Copies of this chain bind each other. A is one copy, B any other.
Amino acid sequence: MSNTNSNLALVLNDAIKNDQFENALIAVKGIRPVDLADVLSQIEASLAWRLLERLPNRATVFSYLEPETQVRLAREFPRASLAKLVGEMPADERTDLFKHFDQSQRDALLPALAQAEREDIRKLSAYVEGTAGALMTSDYATLVKDMSVAEALAALRVEAPDAETIYHAYVIDQQRKLLGVVSLRELILSNPEALIKDLMVRDPIHSKVTDDQEEVAKKIARYDLIALPITDEKGAMVGIVTHDDAMDVASDEATEDFHRAGGVVSTVGNLKDATIGLLYRKRVFWLVLLVFGNLFSGAGIAHFEDIIAANLVLVFFLPLLVDSGGNAGSQSATLMVRALATGEVVMRDWMSLLGRETLVALCLGGTMALAVSILGYIRGDEVVALVLALSMVAIVLIGCIIGMSLPFVLSKMGFDPASASAPLITSVCDAAGVVIYLFIASQFLTLG
């Protein structure tokens, strides 16, 4: 696929340079919009826009481009041509593009747009990023409850060119209050004289404009919806979120959690396009914080300096024991963070999960204690073996409890539970591990 794309990009590049647009249009025939967008993004903007302008499905192809590429291409377009393209875009994509424009681009374009489009951009761009309002589109199909099925089908034929989906049509009253939903499937199966009000599913599943986009995606997944209607604070319908947008949100949210869990602050966009400066900023916070956090481990060591000096064999096992707590704790945190994200587990499950986690931790700690005490006996003696075994059980237990509790605690404090990252858990467990290990050692080993 990717090789075909680069070859096609070369062919198109030459054709556009030589003004052979007919050849170029033949070459892209049958290429799907998302693939064509990939190809166009490999061609210089000053050439690409000239082909894009001539594509019959230009608005769809343009919508699939990355925002940065869209903005770059938009600069090349003559104003009238850009206004035409933007006018053809779906309302939600058009608004996203506008958000990425700088002020001069906005000022240049706005007067060239139709009144309805300007109004639409103004409304949609008012919603806070990350909410249902910022995700939804205003291109949806509506019906009136007193229509017959035949009238509804006729109405959908008129609405179809502009609506993102006509498979679900929403029944609204004069105040645009959402009364019900009818599927196209039901419509074509029903008697043409039947009335929409008798056919519609009343009180349909919906979200509010202010709802978190993650909640919207979860609702669409849970109820297997093609689209979810969005209402404003007065219950009036203002948009829909479609299943494909929900899938993108779910993927982005998973990426964000994944990054947080690995100690990277929020998302970095497409990794390939991320700059060094951006990556540095997203990563340095946790790393430096943890340098200072690790001072607690150091303080623990300093406190037990004498026992270490007298028993240097302890240092040999220090990384092993300390890491084991962090490793077990990371596992616990990982399981918990993802279960909280998918909704499998909720806050009030914490107590019951803690009991089970304790038992799992004792089993894991016991197994690891067995392994480490054999090593301790070989390298030291039976006292060292005992110290190691006891320390291991205690450290793994504490690590697991920290690892599973931290996501809940962070969540209670208003942070994303995924901020319970591996580096954070590791550092907290390390400090605890050092103290536990050296304290137990000081009980069994002498200073000389």
If over half of A's interface residues share one DSSP class (helix, strand or loop), that class is named, otherwise mixed; here it is helix
Docked Cα-Cα span, A203 to B156, in Å, equals 28
Contacts of A372 in B (CB 8 A): 291
Interface string of A151-179 (1 = CB under 8 A from B): 00100110010000011000000000000
Residues of B within 8 A of A287 (CB): 324, 327-328, 331, 364, 367-368, 396
In the complex, which of the residues B166, B223, B261, B322 contacts A261, with contact meaning CB atoms closer than 8 Å?
B261
Question: Which residues of chain B come closer than 8 Å to A32, judged between CB atoms?
Answer: 205, 223
Question: Closest Cβ of chain B: how far from A266's Cβ, in Å?
Answer: 12
Measured as residues with beta carbon below 8 angstroms from the partner, the interface class of chain A is 35 or more
Cβ contacts under 8 Å, A160 to chain B: 185, 188-189
**Are B188 and A323 interface neighbours, CB within 8 A?**
no
Bound-complex Cα distance A338 to B322 (A): 28
Contact of A188 among B153, B226, B283, B312 (CB under 8 A): B153
| Cα–Cα distance between A203 and B290 once the two chains are bound (Å) | 55
Q: Name, among A189, A255, A315, the residue most crowded by chain B CB atoms within 10 Å (CB to CB).
A: A315
- Interfacial chain B residues near A371, Cβ < 8 Å: 288, 291-292
A263 with B331: in contact, given A254-B254, A368-B287, A368-B291 (CB under 8 Å)? yes
Complex contact A426–B327 (CB within 8 A): yes
Closest Cβ of chain B to A331, distance in Å, is 5
Min CB gap A228→B, angstroms: 13
Contact digits for A377-390, partner B, Cβ 8 Å, 1 yes 0 no: 00100000000000
A11 at the interface (CB under 8 A from B): no
125-183 of chain A: CB within 8 A of chain B:
153, 156-157, 160, 166-167
Contacts of A283 in B (CB 8 A): 328, 331, 360, 364
**Is residue A272 within 8 Å, beta carbon to beta carbon, of the partner chain?**
yes
* A315-B308, A315-B315 known; A264+B298 contact, CB < 8 A: no
* Smallest CB gap from A321: residue in B: B294
Give the distance in Å from the alpha carbon of A341 to the alpha carbon of B334 in the complex. 18
Nearest-neighbor residue (CB-CB) of A360 within chain B: B279
Q: Please tell me if A10 contacts chain B, counting CB pairs below 8 Å.
A: no
CB-defined A-B contacts under 8 Å, sample of 20: A157-B189, A184-B185, A184-B188, A258-B258, A258-B337, A259-B335, A262-B334, A263-B330, A280-B363, A283-B328, A291-B368, A291-B375, A301-B315, A301-B316, A302-B316, A308-B315, A309-B312, A315-B318, A318-B319, A422-B426
Q: List the 8 shortest-distance A-B pairs measured between CB atoms, nearest first.
A: A262-B334, A294-B320, A422-B422, A224-B244, A254-B254, A327-B423, A271-B339, A297-B319
Instruction: List A residues at the B interface (Cβ < 8 Å).
Output: 2, 30, 32, 34, 153, 156-157, 160, 166-167, 184-185, 188-189, 203, 205, 220-224, 226, 243-244, 246-248, 250-251, 254-255, 257-259, 261-264, 268, 270-272, 276, 279-280, 283-284, 286-288, 290-292, 294-295, 297-298, 301-302, 305, 308-309, 312, 315-320, 322-324, 326-328, 330-331, 333-339, 342, 344-346, 349, 353, 356, 359-360, 363-364, 367-368, 371-372, 375, 379, 396, 422-423, 426-427, 430, 434
